[in-house]
Amino acid sequence: MSETHNFDDVSAAESRWIEQRRQKAGVAPAKPRVGVAFSGGGIRSACFHLGFLEALIEAGKMKQVDYLSTVSGGGYTGSCFQWLKHQAETADDDHLFSQRANGGNVLGWLRAHGKYLIDGKGVNSMTLFAALLASTLFNLLIVLPVLLFVIWLFGLPHAAVDWPQGWHMPGADQIEGHVGYLLALGFSGFFLGLYLLVIPTMAFWRQRIHSHNFAPRRWMGNLLTAALVLGLIGSLPMVAQLGDMLVAMAGEESIETLGKHMSYLLPLVGGATALRFGALRPKLAMMGITLLLYGITALCYHLVFHMGLVETTGFWIWLSIALVLAAFASINRTSMHSYYLARLCNAFFVRKEGNDRDHSGDMLLCNLNPETGAPLPLINTTLTTRNSKKRLWRDRLGASFTLSPLYCGSPVTGFAKSEVFQSGRMTLGESMTTSGAAVDPGTAQTANWALSFLMALLNFRLGFWTKAPRAAGARFSHMPYWLIFREMFGIGMSETESNIHLTDGGHFENLGVYELLRRELPVIIAGDAGADPETNLSDLQLLIQHAIADFDCLIKIDVDELMSKKGNEHASCFATGRIHYASGKEGVLIYVKSLLTPESPTLLKSFALTDNAFPNDSTADQFFDEMHFDAYRVLGKFNLHQALNEHPTLFDSPA
């Protein structure tokens, strides 16, 4: 077990870092501490905040920034900046983006890699498809034999059960049932009966049961879910028998072959159809996913009991190989996380002129140091807490978990020194990738059990498994593949586990301001490039809510001009707020949004005519051409310049 540290230890270490950084950058100790936050939003956010960086450098203010807090896509640019500063021979930022890189300058390199997922030597859209396919097949190689084995166990010992008398039809003389499946049906009926009995009692507390924090509401939901899942599992023998019964009733040999496969073909086709027409109807889509899962389970049942797959020698060899791989294969290296990591490092860790070797993945997080004059990076991720014993974290499904060169951790897990966390092997690229792991089972966006199960089954995962800070120094830090079953079934995902799961920081708080509020900074500049076509400012709303609930911190900000809109232009692209910390300290929040205004450059207004979605292109679009790259970059630069011009003394006297 490793020694864990509290936030007081973290704060003291950060103060020492900032003091050294300021000495190197030539910033007076008396200057107010400044934090800059880059929001999530994929490549859209990366381009917008690249313009942010340029504006800060052009204004001569970047050297005064003490903290750079990033989330997801904002972390692409933030990590790129840290990489460039580490590679630079001087603390001067003025020529950071104009310095030479392979094939041109840094800015040109980044512009050429806007389609980072399919850009690179020998990399294209087919490479992405091949990576997805390989990831899925490898996962099925391990998971499928285990599921088949469990389905086989449910059938031991065998028991045949008569159909009800009224159902005596050709081919329906007996259900080929099994004790495990009968028990599943029995428990399903018991749980359903209990649910129906408790509902009238709970009706007396109707107002309370509909309260978000009323615990019985959760238990009732779990009870109904258990009843439905067990009922579906227990019904497999009956559904399989129905196919044989339909064949016997039809009496046509031509449909006999098809009839034997009806038990799984119907739910698979039905599920796929529901998904096809459920793109804009979430309930229909969830029904389609549930049908697909049932069809997959029915197919497994067919393979086990109709095809006799488990009785073959080949199956037991397959199962043995799967168990060995589950113990020794790394769950972090066999999902799309590994591909995502490689593509991000290739795109945003720019290589110097004449350097053809890619060392971008070698930069250890703990090796970043204040001698570069760069701000202290806070790379924000979300710790999955869907199974937490504490209601607050269970309801939120996640907690803030920060990665920095000094400490990695969270107040809910404790902190480990970065040279100890992940046995000191956590890299800058790995941190950036984990912070941007948007596609993952069990998040707030994919909390539905059926969807999470299907995503984990097909290995559509970008999240990162690691040792908890208290176990960070463990000699054996390998993340075994069997952890995939935790994601599939939604178990063991909490802050108290020795192995914890990290995902996109935006799943908890997408602006990156949360951790800056914890540090009670007097000046915070936040960029928001999240997709928000209706200008609901939902990320800002969530931040204000978390600030009150977690820090007793009140943020007062007037957003009327941000909301005021004529056509696609807003009255303003930024708002100024006051922060009232619980300690009595006060701060200033400069909130800069990716909005067009009447003052926006003609270039941006013209681009908006050709791209109606701009400046809210979908986060699903991670393939930016040069025009999109520069449009968002110029937007970020212009909008921040507007805010800085309005507050000329911000970095000296924030009041």
In 478-606 the beta strands, taken as DSSP E runs, fall at: 499-504, 523-528, 554-557, 565-566, 569-570, 574-580, 586-593
Alpha-carbon distances, residue 390 vs 149, 240, 274, 387, 445 (angstroms): 35, 42, 36, 9, 21
CB contact burial 374-404 (16+ within 10 A = b; e otherwise): bbbbbbbbbbbbbbbeeeebeebbbbbbbbb
| The predicted structure's pLDDT at residue 167 | 46
Higher pLDDT, 481 or 159: 481
How far is residue 340's CA from residue 99's CA, in Å, rounded to a whole number? 26
286 and 381 both lie in a single domain = no
In a domain, 190, yes or no: yes
197 and 53 both lie in a single domain = no
CB contact burial 344-372 (16+ within 10 A = b; e otherwise): bbbbbbbbeeeeeeeebeebbbbebebeb
| The predicted structure's pLDDT at residue 595 | 98
Tokens 């270490």 found at: 13
Higher pLDDT, 503 or 95: 503
Return the structure tokens found at 558: 């007037």
Return the structure tokens found at 159: 């028991």
Taking residues 293-310, report their average pLDDT. 86
412 and 517 both lie in a single domain = yes
Range picked from 10-24, 192-206, 465-479 for highest mean pLDDT = 10-24
In a domain, 73, yes or no: yes
Q: Is 391 helix (H, G, I), strand (E, B) or coil?
A: helix
Least confident of 74-78, 124-128, 498-502: 124-128
495 and 391 both lie in a single domain = yes
| The predicted structure's pLDDT at residue 163 | 45
Q: Which residues neighbour 459 within 8 Å (Cβ) at sequence distance 6 or greater?
A: 135, 136, 138, 139, 140, 334, 335, 336, 484
CA 120 from centroid of its chain's CA atoms? 24
pLDDT tens by residue, 108-167? 999 999 999 988 777 888 999 999 999 999 999 999 999 999 888 887 755 455 445 444
Q: Which of 265, 285, 311 represents a domain boundary (last residue)?
A: 311
pLDDT tens by residue, 302-338? 888 888 899 899 999 999 999 999 888 989 999 999 9
Return the structure tokens found at 573: 């692209």
- Does residue 257 have a pLDDT over 50? yes
In a domain, 316, yes or no: no
How far is residue 451's CA from residue 607's CA, in Å, rounded to a whole number? 37
Q: Which of 23, 100, 24 is nearest to 372 (CA)?
A: 24
Higher pLDDT, 488 or 37: 37
In a domain, 652, yes or no: no
In a domain, 331, yes or no: no
| The predicted structure's pLDDT at residue 279 | 55
Contact 482, 10 (CB under 8 A): no
530 and 620 both lie in a single domain = yes
- Does residue 106 have a pLDDT over 70? yes
403 and 304 both lie in a single domain = no
Q: Which of 91, 124, 119, 88 is nearest to 103 (CA)?
A: 119
In a domain, 450, yes or no: no
Q: What is the 3-state secondary structure (H, E, C) of 37-61?
A: EECCCHHHHHHHHHHHHHHHHHCCC
Considering Cα of 21, then 25, then 29, then 30, what sign does the dihedral take?
A: negative
What contacts 24+ positions apart, CB below 8 Å, involve 476-480?
477/422, 477/423, 477/425, 478/328, 478/330, 479/330, 479/331, 479/332, 480/326, 480/327, 480/328, 480/329, 480/330, 480/331
Q: What is the CATH number of the domain that holds 14?
A: 3.40.1090.10
In a domain, 627, yes or no: yes
- Largest Cα span, the chain: 91
- Which phi and psi angles does 582 have, rounded to 5°? -65, -30
Structural domains in the chain (count): 2
Q: Fill in the DSSP letter of residue 404.
A: -
- Does residue 437 have a pLDDT over 60? yes
Please tell me whether the peptide bond between 480 and the residue prior to it is cis, using omega within 30 degrees of 0. Answer: no
For the chain, the average pLDDT equals 86
397 and 469 both lie in a single domain = yes
- Does residue 225 have a pLDDT over 90? no
Return the structure tokens found at 220: 């009732």
Contact 495, 393 (CB under 8 A): yes
Least confident of 36-50, 160-174, 276-290, 510-524: 160-174
289 and 380 both lie in a single domain = no
Tokens 């009968």 found at: 182
- Does residue 221 have a pLDDT over 80? no
Domain that residue 47 falls in: 3-94+365-440+463-646
Return the structure tokens found at 525: 């500049």
| The predicted structure's pLDDT at residue 302 | 85
- Which phi and psi angles does 287 have, rounded to 5°? -65, -40
In a domain, 534, yes or no: yes
86 and 152 both lie in a single domain = no
80 and 192 both lie in a single domain = no
pLDDT class for 212, splitting at 50, 70, 90?
very low
Q: Which of 37, 47, 101, 102 is nearest to 70 (CA)?
A: 37
Q: Which of 279, 311, 343 represents a domain boundary (last residue)?
A: 311
Could you tell me whether strands 586-593 and 523-528 are parallel, antiparallel, or unpaired per DSSP bridges? parallel
Return the structure tokens found at 395: 């309801």
How far is residue 493's CA from residue 490's CA, in Å, rounded to a whole number? 7
Percentage with pLDDT > 70 across the chain = 82
